[in-house]
Amino acid sequence: MILKGSQRAGGKALALHLLNAEQNEHVEVAEVRGFMSESVTGAFKEAQAHASGTRCKQYLFSVSLSPPETETVRPEVFEGAIAAIEEKLGLEGQPRVVVFHEKEGRRHAHCVWSRIDAETMTAKQLSFFKTRLREVSKALYLENGWKMPRGLMDSKERDPRNFTLDEWQQAKRAGLDAAALRGMVQECWAVSDNRDAFGKALEERGLYLAKGDRRGHVVVTYEGEVFALSRLTDKKVKEVAAKLGKPDDLHSVEDAKAHIAGVLAPRISGFLQEARRIARNAMQPLHDQRQAMQQRHADERRKLDDGQKQRWDAETRERAGRLRGGVMGLWDKLTGEHRKTQRQNEIKAYWAIQRDREQRQTLVAAQLAERRSLQERIRQTRTRHAEQILALHKQAANYRLMSDLRQQRGDERGTARAAFNQRAEGSRSERQTSQPPRGRGPRGPDLGR
C-alpha cells in the first residue's frame, strides 16, 4: 500500500477535494472522530479554530492510502494501516477524518489528522514522516503478501514515470496523461545523442523543445502547455545542459506557440479534430455504460444500507426485549441472569455488525471487479486512439523534414545551375575573345592564294 503524506493548511479546499463526487465515482465518509462536528467541513473548521491559538500554520496532516491496483482490500486492512501510521508518527488519540474514494475500479482512502493537541495547545511534531511512512508501507506489503514495487525496495529503482500532483493537474488541464507524457519524454531522452535528435524525437510525439523564461529547457505541447524538461526527465538542470547545450538559440515559448499555431496547426489540426471526434464517438457508449453502472452500483449500496438499517433496528428491539423489567428484572439482576442476557446481546450485536460489514464488502468487491472489467475496455480504446494521434504527429514531423530536405536540395540545385551558367558564360566569352571576327578581311593582296 503506497502511503503519501503532507502537512498542510486550507481545510476548506481539502474538504472539497475529499467530498468531490465528480472526479470520484463513489465517496464514503467512513469516520469523523474527535470533533464536535459530524461533517468533514465542520471538523476541519474546528481544527483551524484550534490552530488559531497556536503558531502552527499547517495544522492538518493528510495521508492517502493506495493499495495495489489489482487488489480488493478489506476495510480492516485500511484500519490497521491507519493505526500503524498513528503509532509510528505519535498521532494516537488525535482527531481524524477517514474518507474512501472509488474511481476506475480502484478503491483508496484518505485519512486526515488534526496536528493540534487541545490539552497542551501545541502541534504534533512530524519529523521524518516520509521515511516513517515508507517503513509502514513496506510492512503492509509484506503482511498482506502483495508484490512490492521495486521503487519501494530501493528508491533508486522507482518508476521514472511517477509524477507530482502539480504535473498531474497541469497535464489534466491540457487533456493529457501525466504518466504517458513523462514516459514519452524519457524515451526521447534515452534514444537521443544530441539536441537535434532529441528535438526531432519530441516533435514526432507532438512536443516541441523551447527556451523557458526561468527554467532553461522546456517542452511545449501541441496544446500550448509548458513543462520543465528537467522534471519530466528526472534529471538535474546541469545534466540537461550538458547534453543539449545552452538554450539561448532555441525558440522562446511564445515563438514555439506561434510556430505551432502558424505552421503546424493548419497542416494537421483538421486531422486531429477528426481523430478526436472518432475517439469521442467510440468512447461515448463506454462513458454511458460507466455512468449507468455507477448509478446502479450506488442504488444497490443504498438499498443494502437501508435494508441493513431496518434489520438492525428490528434486532435491537428484539435484544432489548430480552431484558425483563419490573420485579422480574430486579430478580434477574439479583440472580445474575440480567448480566448473562446482556452479555449475549453484546455478542449478537457484535456478530450482527460483522455480518453487515461482510455483506457490504462482498457487494463492493463484486462491483469493483465489474468496474475494472469495463475500465480495461476503456483503457484499450484510449490507447488505440492515442496511437492514432501519435501517428499523425509523427507524419507531420516527417512531412516537415521532407519539406526542409526538398527545399535544401532545391537550393543546392539552384546554386549548381547558377555556377554552371556562370562557367558556361565565361567559356563563351573566352572563345569570342580568341577567335577573329567573322566577315570580310582587310583589303590588299591575299598571299594565301
97 and 139 share one domain: yes
Confidence tier at 393 by pLDDT (50, 70, 90): low
Total count of domains within the chain: 3
Cα–Cα distance for residue pair 250/210, rounded to 1 Å: 6
Higher confidence at residue 224 or residue 171?
224
pLDDT digits (tens, 9 = 90+) for 394-448: 666 555 544 444 455 555 555 656 665 666 566 656 555 555 555 544 454 443 4
Contacting residues for 284 by C-beta, under 8 A, at least 6 apart? none
Cα–Cα distance for residue pair 226/217, rounded to 1 Å: 10
pLDDT digits (tens, 9 = 90+) for 316-344: 999 988 888 888 888 888 888 889 999 99
239 and 289 share one domain: no
283 and 192 share one domain: no
In a domain, 412, yes or no: no
**Roughly what angle, to the nearest 10 degrees, separates helices 337-434 and 265-321?**
180
Res 357 pLDDT > 80: yes
Contacting residues for 193 by C-beta, under 8 A, at least 6 apart? none
Domain termination site, one of 109, 129, 157: 157
185 and 115 share one domain: no
Region 50-73: mean pLDDT is: 89
8 Å CB contact between 184 and 207: yes
In a domain, 259, yes or no: no
pTM of the model: 0.69
In a domain, 426, yes or no: no
Cα–Cα distance for residue pair 42/8, rounded to 1 Å: 17
In a domain, 443, yes or no: no
The parent domain of residue 98 ranges over 2-157
Which strand (E) or helix (H) includes residue 227? strand 226-228
User: Mean pLDDT over all residues of the chain?
Assistant: 80
In a domain, 423, yes or no: no
Count Cβ atoms within 10 A of the Cβ of residue 283 and give its class: 0-12 exposed, 13-18 middle, 19 or more buried.
Answer: middle
Domain termination site, one of 123, 157, 191: 157
Region 306-310: mean pLDDT is: 94
Cα dist. 347→160, 319, 342 in Å? 51, 11, 9
Domain termination site, one of 216, 251, 286: 251
Cα–Cα distance for residue pair 377/212, rounded to 1 Å: 39
Coil vs helix vs strand at 22: coil
Buried b (16+ CB within 10 A) or exposed e, 238-266: eebeebbeebeebbebeebbeebeeebee
